[in-house]
C-alpha cells in the first residue's frame, strides 16, 4: 500500500503549469494522511479559490473535493464540505450529480466562523483542498500577488482551533499560497515569491502538494477506494460532467478567468489522464 501511495503522490506532482514544484513541494505526507483518514469519523473538507477578474471561484478545488468527499462517504464516514456563501450554488450543483450523504455548509466572508457551526463531537479531520491561506501579513493572496481577502472567509481560524482540539488537519495545494501549506512556506518564499508576502503560514499536520490540487483529491479518493475494497471512483465521463456542471453554475478556469471546462489553463486531457492513471495505480 505504501508503495502505491508513493507512486500516486509522485504522479500528481507533475508540473505542467511550471510552478517549480521540484523546488518547494513536500513528499511523504500522503501515506500517513490516508492512514489517519481510515480511522476518522467526521471529515470537513473546505475549498473555493476566488478569482478576482471573474468574481467566482475556480474549477480547481470543487471537483477534487467532491470526489474525495464521495469516497469517504462511501466508506461510511460522515462528510461535510465547507465553502464561502458565494460558492454555494457551484458546490450544490456539483454534489447533486452524486447520490451520497454529504452535508454542504456555507459561511459568510468578513465575519468570524463559530467552530460549533462546522464541527461536531464526531469531527476528526479538517481538510483544505485549493483554499486560500493567510500570508505572513494576515491577508490572502492569489498567485499574481493580488489581495483577495475581501472574498475569503477566515477558515484559517478553524485550522488553529482544530490544532488545539485534537482534530487532524490536511492541507492540499499547488502554489504554496493555499491553506495548510505552512510546512513549505519558507521554500515557497525563496523560490516562488521572494520579494512579497505570498505563502500561506498556516500549518497542517499533513501537507500534500500537487501540480493541480484536484489531482491530490482524485489520488486520495482512489487510494481510499482501494482501502475500502469497493469501486467508488466515478468513471471519467462523470468527472468531465462534474467540471462542466461547476462551470455552468459559475466556476471559471483559474488561469484564463473564463467559464470553460478546463483547470489551471491546461487542456482537459491533463485532468482526464491524471484521473485515469491514479485509478489504475490504485487498481493494481
Express each pLDDT in 193-225 by its tens digit: 999 999 999 999 999 999 999 999 999 999 999
Q: For the residues 30-54, what does the mean pLDDT come to?
A: 97
H/E stretch holding 3: helix 2-12
Residue 83 CA: distances (Å) to CA of 1, 4, 154, 212:
32, 31, 11, 19
Superfamily (CATH H level) for 2-283: TON_0340 (3.90.1640.20)
Express each pLDDT in 135-151 by its tens digit: 999 999 999 999 999 99
On whether the CB atoms of residues 163 and 208 are closer than 8 A, the answer is no
Q: How sure is the predictor about 284, in pLDDT bands with cuts at 50, 70 and 90?
A: low
Which grid cell is 168? 487532524
Helices (H) and strands (E) in the chain, counts: 10, 8
Amino acid at each position: 500500500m505504501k508503495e502505491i501511495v508513493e507512486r500516486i503522490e509522485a504522479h500528481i506532482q507533475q508540473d505542467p503549469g511550471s510552478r517549480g514544484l521540484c523546488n518547494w513541494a513536500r513528499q511523504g505526507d500522503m501515506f500517513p494522511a490516508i492512514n489517519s483518514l481510515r480511522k476518522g469519523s467526521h471529515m470537513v473538507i473546505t475549498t473555493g479559490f476566488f478569482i478576482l477578474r471573474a468574481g467566482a471561484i475556480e474549477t480547481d478545488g470543487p471537483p477534487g473535493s467532491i470526489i474525495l468527499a464521495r469516497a469517504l462517504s462511501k466508506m461510511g464516514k460522515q462528510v461535510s464540505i465547507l465553502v464561502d456563501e458565494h460558492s454555494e450554488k457551484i458546490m450544490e450543483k456539483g454534489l447533486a450529480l452524486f447520490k451520497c450523504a454529504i452535508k454542504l455548509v456555507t459561511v459568510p466572508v468578513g465575519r468570524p466562523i463559530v467552530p460549533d457551526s462546522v464541527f461536531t463531537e464526531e469531527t476528526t479531520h479538517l481538510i483544505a483542498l485549493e483554499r486560500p491561506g493567510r500570508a505572513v501579513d494576515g491577508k490572502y493572496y492569489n498567485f499574481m500577488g493580488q489581495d483577495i481577502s475581501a472574498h475569503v472567509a477566515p477558515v484559517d481560524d478553524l485550522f488553529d482551533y482544530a490544532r488545539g482540539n485534537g482534530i487532524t488537519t490536511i492541507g492540499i495545494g499547488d502554489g504554496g499560497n493555499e491553506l495548510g501549506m505552512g510546512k513549505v512556506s519558507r521554500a515557497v518564499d525563496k523560490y516562488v515569491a521572494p520579494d512579497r508576502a505570498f505563502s500561506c503560514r498556516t500549518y497542517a499536520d499533513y501537507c500534500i502538494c500537487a501540480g493541480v490540487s484536484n489531482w491530490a483529491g482524485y489520488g486520495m479518493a482512489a487510494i481510499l477506494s482501494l482501502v475500502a475494497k469497493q469501486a467508488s471512483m466515478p468513471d471519467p465521463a462523470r468527472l468531465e460532467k462534474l467540471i462542466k456542471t461547476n462551470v455552468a453554475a459559475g466556476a471559471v478556469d483559474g488561469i484564463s478567468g473564463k467559464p470553460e471546462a478546463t483547470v489551471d489553463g491546461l487542456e482537459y486531457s491533463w485532468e482526464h489522464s491524471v484521473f485515469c492513471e491514479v485509478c489504475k495505480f490504485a487498481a493494481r
